[in-house]
Amino acid sequence: MALDASGRCRGGGAGLVASRRCAPGELLLGVPLSHCLAARRGEGGGEGGGAEAAPPWNLALAEGLATRAGTDWGRALPSVGAGPSFMGGAVAQADVQMPAAWAEKEALEADFTAGCAAAAARSGCTTGELKHAAALAHSRAFRHQGFQVIAPGIDFANHDFAPNCAVRTELDEAGGRGPQTVFELRAGKEGLEEGEEVTISYGPWCSEVMYLYYGFVVPGNPHEAVALFEGAEDFVNFLARERLWEGSPAVKKNLALVVEDRLHEAQVPGGRLQVLRGGIDEGFLVASEVLGVDPLVACARRARELLEAAPTNLEQDAELLELGGLGHDVETAVRFRLEQKVLLAETLFAIDEIVPGGVA
């Protein structure tokens, strides 16, 4: 395997390419867990992000990256000012437009900031250096048994929803240090041609995850999802505002709790209620059943509300991208919101075909 930093790889950045013909399933690179950077998911700075609190995983990995700066791998990583921007970069809410994505961006930036001073003191890095390192961690780490792990070397493989390679874990019991996990990068069933770029799948993520954590957007993402509501209470408040449901504030609060309980009973992940490229998600259907509303009607009204509230429409976003000159961070934000709006428009069109009277 060879690292190609010529700009010809996906996204214009560095990537791995095959230096020779590789057979199907061939081992391309193996990285023991002891050589990886790892941070437990769920760790956070706590209230106020005090010096005694465990840092969020992105900060923990950022500090780890600082310790590898002098290695060959560390020197190959994008320098400050290059590579992905932290949580979409310094863009305005009017650039992102989608309310759920903006809320996620603000929440995670606040969590990062809360622990940043202590992390800077420990690592000797500036806030800007830590933010850059955290962006690298977001775009390179993958989940493994409750941890976020960066496997040096494998992390240079770029994303494709139809990848030509895959990463798997194996237990190596032959080493002198006892059994340990090894992350293996292997060629796919077609093998690789000499000079072919190595690609893996980062996961079936929607554009919001790709945008905020990985720093890019995939047009026509088959896993696209738009959060219509942040949770049950948000949904109930919307229904009341739209006069699809009526009741006192106390009843609304209790209904939201009932919806959350039903979602838990149905083993539907809590939190957001979404529309997907393949239809309405299960959580939205369960919540609509509890509240006695037609999910198609509620979905159509919310989709239309989100589109009408956006400062720009699909055509204007497409024109902005065609004209260019937006700068990397703003351009990526425009690509993100365009993909989200396309799904909302597709949803409205589909519902209009199904529901008599054209509620959409």
Residue 17: is its pLDDT beyond 90? yes
Which has the higher per-residue pLDDT, 44 or 111?
A: 111
Which tokens in the block code for residue 200? 């893996």
What would the CATH number be for the domain defined by 225-354? 3.90.1420.10
Question: Confidence band (pLDDT; 50, 70, 90) for 24?
Answer: very high
Rounded to an integer, the average pLDDT of 36-49 is 64
Question: Confidence band (pLDDT; 50, 70, 90) for 202?
Answer: very high
What is the model's pLDDT at position 205?
A: 94
How many Cα atoms sit within 13 Å of 150 on the Cβ side?
27
For the chain, the straight-line distance linking the first and the last C-alpha, in angstroms and rounded, comes to: 52
Question: Confidence band (pLDDT; 50, 70, 90) for 165?
Answer: very high
Phi, psi torsion values for 180, nearest 5 degrees: -150, 155
pLDDT single digits (tens) 230-280: 888 888 889 988 888 776 666 777 888 888 888 888 887 767 899 999 899
Q: Place domain 2-208 in its CATH homologous superfamily.
A: set domain protein methyltransferase, domain 1 (3.90.1410.10)
User: Distance between CA 2 and CA 136 in Å, rounded?
Assistant: 20
Question: What is the radius of gyration, based on Cα positions, of the chain?
Answer: 23
What is the model's pLDDT at position 352?
A: 87
Closest CA to 151 of 128, 132, 168, 134: 168
Rounded to an integer, the average pLDDT of 154-168 is 96
At CA 210, angle to CA 205 and CA 213, rounded to 5?
Answer: 115
Helix, strand, coil shares of the chain, percent, nearest 5, are: 50, 15, 35
Residues with Cβ within 8 Å of residue 272, at least 6 apart in sequence:
100, 227, 228, 229, 230, 231, 283
Closest CA to 299 of 263, 337, 267, 343: 343
> So where are the chain's domains?
2-208, 225-354
Mean pLDDT of all residues belonging to the chain: 89
User: Distance between CA 311 and CA 295 in Å, rounded?
Assistant: 26
Closest CA to 65 of 53, 54, 52, 78: 78
The runs of H, that is alpha helices, within 126-225 are: 127-140, 207-209
Residues with Cβ within 8 Å of residue 181, at least 6 apart in sequence:
32, 33, 144, 169, 170, 171, 172
Which has the higher per-residue pLDDT, 221 or 232?
A: 221
Rounded to an integer, the average pLDDT of 178-197 is 93
What is the model's pLDDT at position 247?
A: 66
Lowest mean pLDDT among 211-220, 258-267, 277-286: 258-267
pTM of the model: 0.89
pLDDT single digits (tens) 296-336: 999 999 999 999 999 999 999 999 999 999 999 999 999 99
Rounded to an integer, the average pLDDT of 131-145 is 92
pLDDT single digits (tens) 72-96: 999 999 988 788 899 999 999 999 9
Rounded to an integer, the average pLDDT of 116-140 is 91
Which tokens in the block code for residue 354? 């199904």
Distance of CA 234 to the CA centre of its chain: 22
